Structure 1
Amino acid sequence: MSHPERDTRQTIVDTAERFFRDIGYQKTTVADIAKSLRMSPANVYRFFDSKKSINEAVLARYKGEHEAALAEIAAQDRPVTDRLRDMLQTSYRINQARYADQQRMHEMVCAAMEESWDAILGHIARFDALMCKVVTEGVESGAFRKVDPGEATRCIRTAMIRFHHPLLMSQCSRMPGPSIDEMIDFIMAALEPPVGAA
């Protein structure tokens, strides 16, 4: 793909994101996006074969930014306990800023879950890989107790779901439950090695 083509593709994604945020995924049409860009729908279809694929591109950008932020923390030369805590906090902050009280963005996520589940699973796999790397390092260094890193990572993701899943963040915000800090403290305590362990 040439530079002009990449630029056009990026402009389509930028415009679609704005429409999804302003009027919602369901109400947005490819014709709306094309008209805003002063191009024909056929030209948009040169770059994306459907509105679904445009939505996937918007989400891929979001997830890519999210994963890059976590990867940067995971690679830092700091205690593994601090890095894991920061990764969980950062994931929450990113999703909170992007999706909290954004009903139209929830619509976009719902569409992706219904139409593009493989893309969602890809993000989950990459999220798990980043977490698992840090958990493995913690187990090997003795900072965490002897657990199976993959199993521990899945438990951490499940424990954090109300703080990371865009729809559950909104739905659970008015329900009794732990705060983000309380949940992270609980997870970190669960990973602590037994007292007196070598």
Structure 2
Amino acid sequence: DTIAQRIEARKQAVRILQNGKEDISERVAEVLVNEVGDTLAQEIEAESKEFVDSLIESLGTDREADVRLAEPASESNEPVEVDADEGYKITLLEDGDTFHVFTDDQQADAMADAIDFLIQEFDLIDELAPLPYVPGEKNAILNSEPRHPSGEEMRLYRELSGDYYLYVALNQISKKRYVERFAGFCGLDAEFEGE
């Protein structure tokens, strides 16, 4: 395969995965649940979404690297755009103006930094009290211990200021939703860049 073919294959794979993300992650989860049983179905569903997001991120990043390797010198005088900010960026806005920016290579870490900031600077915990904050039926998104209400330990979490714990075994859409929601509780808006 030529480099151009590999680049095109990556672009196509990313498009397919992005357009069919929900369906693909459901099928991945279904295969895994059929293999290991439905006791862990909810965790498997969350992980399968994270897996598809991670695969999109990986293929996209590798594609960009291949493009830079394939074109070390531009044949024209046109500037070549290179994404210098590879990673994930969350911008908190107040009345449309940038208030604070968080960047990290990992979505979960950028999310944790933003929410930790809201806890420290805007007393987010007071807005959510009493903890745990459980928006659905099972998983705590924010708690004073790394456990869900069922007593089950959070599989993936980040420890925040004040001994609070943020559950991060979420897909990208859910991470965005909770950052937006928590920012909204503090009178801010949130914007996102990166995959």
Q: Same fold (TM over 0.5)?
A: no
Q: Larger % of strand: which?
A: 2
After TM superposition, the score normalised by the length of structure 1 is 0.26
After TM superposition, the score normalised by the length of structure 2 is 0.26
Q: Larger % of helix: which?
A: 1
